[in-house]
Amino acid sequence: MSQSLEHSLTSWSGQALKHQNSWIDGIDARVRVVCSTLFALVVVSSHSFTPTLLGLFCAFLLVKASKLNIKRTLRRVVAMDLFMLTLICILPFTTPGDAMFTVFSLTASWQGLLHALLITVKANAVLLVLFSLVATMSASTLGHALAHLKVPDKLVHLMLFMVRYLDVISQEYKKMRRAMQARAFVLRTNRHTWKSIGYLFGMLLIRSVERAERISDAMKCRGFCGRYYLNDEMKIRSIDWIFAIVFISFLILLIGLNIDGLFK
């Protein structure tokens, strides 16, 4: 079981989530990054259910609009929700409040359950918006957008390098794993497994450091003087303005709902 999980996750080619083209792809990358960050800020700092549920609803709309592959998206969200399930199990017992039911003289409270549900809704809303607005662009576009948003240059460079080499390293890793499997190595809970995985990891480190040296030599050969140049001109067009204005007015509505909730 653990093996199938492992392989579904290591195969990442640094590409955007699989999806059909939609109007969201036409919107400027910077606008999408800024909008989803603001969305996360507003939703996470909300106190009541109305704005967060509205946010979740908006997230669903965006997922629909960006034509994400529903099955893949769900798989990612479910992975997180399994974690949330433990939270939903624990929080009712640890939060004082009106009793819902009692198990072994432990009382589950409604307040705790609501709190756990609120966290679940928030986390899901933020993730879905991220998936539909940001994960639909390729990772290198994201890097360029961040660079245009004045994120430190070195950080962006690091990200671009990582995006490029994740796939290479994961192939290297799979190759070594296949070689181990060919020699009938099976993962178990024992010291032999841990030792072998440790050796695998050490070898992976050595090979990748050697690869890094080759990369950097090859890049210097081609006149790399320490930095990439971002040649793409990102221009804000009218559709970007419209999207940004609509999105931000929606966020202001959410903030307004929060303030109303505070005074009740």
Partner 1 sequence: MHIVDGALSSPVLISGAVLSAIGVFIGLKKMDYDHLPLVGVLASVFFIASYIHLPLGFSSVHLIMNGLLGIILGWVAFPALLVALLLQVIFFGFGGLLVLGVNTLNIALPAVLIYYLCYKGVRNDSPKIAAIWGAVGGAGAIFITALMVAFALALSGESFVLAAKAVLPAHIPIMVIEGFVSYAAVYLIHTVKPEFISKGSN
How big is the site for partner 1, counted in residues (CB under 8 A)?
88
Considering the rule CB under 8 A, would residue 105 count as an interface residue with partner 1? no
Structure tokens at 161: 């390098």
Are 69 and 18 within 8 A, CB to CB?
Answer: yes
Residue type present at position 145: A
- Chain positions 199 to 218 lying near partner 1, rule: CB under 8 A, are 199, 201-206, 208-209, 211-213, 215-216
Minimum distance, C-beta of residue 32 to partner 1, in the bound complex (Å): 11
Considering the rule CB under 8 A, would residue 12 count as an interface residue with partner 1? yes
**101 vs 238, beta carbon nearer partner 1:** 101
> How far, in whole angstroms, is CA 259 from its chain's centroid?
29
Considering the rule CB under 8 A, would residue 110 count as an interface residue with partner 1? no
x-marked contacts with partner 1 along 69-88 as a string, rule CB under 8 A:
-------xx-xx--xx--x-
Considering the rule CB under 8 A, would residue 255 count as an interface residue with partner 1? no
Considering the rule CB under 8 A, would residue 57 count as an interface residue with partner 1? no
Are 55 and 39 within 8 A, CB to CB?
Answer: yes
Are 21 and 67 within 8 A, CB to CB?
Answer: yes
Nearest-angstrom CA–CA distance, 88 and 81: 10
Structure tokens at 212: 């890094």
**158 vs 242, beta carbon nearer partner 1:** 158
Considering the rule CB under 8 A, would residue 20 count as an interface residue with partner 1? no
The one among 22, 37, 48, 50 contacting partner 1 by CB under 8 A: 37
Enumerate long-range contacts of 143-146, CB under 8 Å, 24 or more apart: 144/29, 144/230, 144/232, 144/234, 145/29, 145/30, 145/32, 145/33, 145/234, 146/33
Considering the rule CB under 8 A, would residue 198 count as an interface residue with partner 1? yes
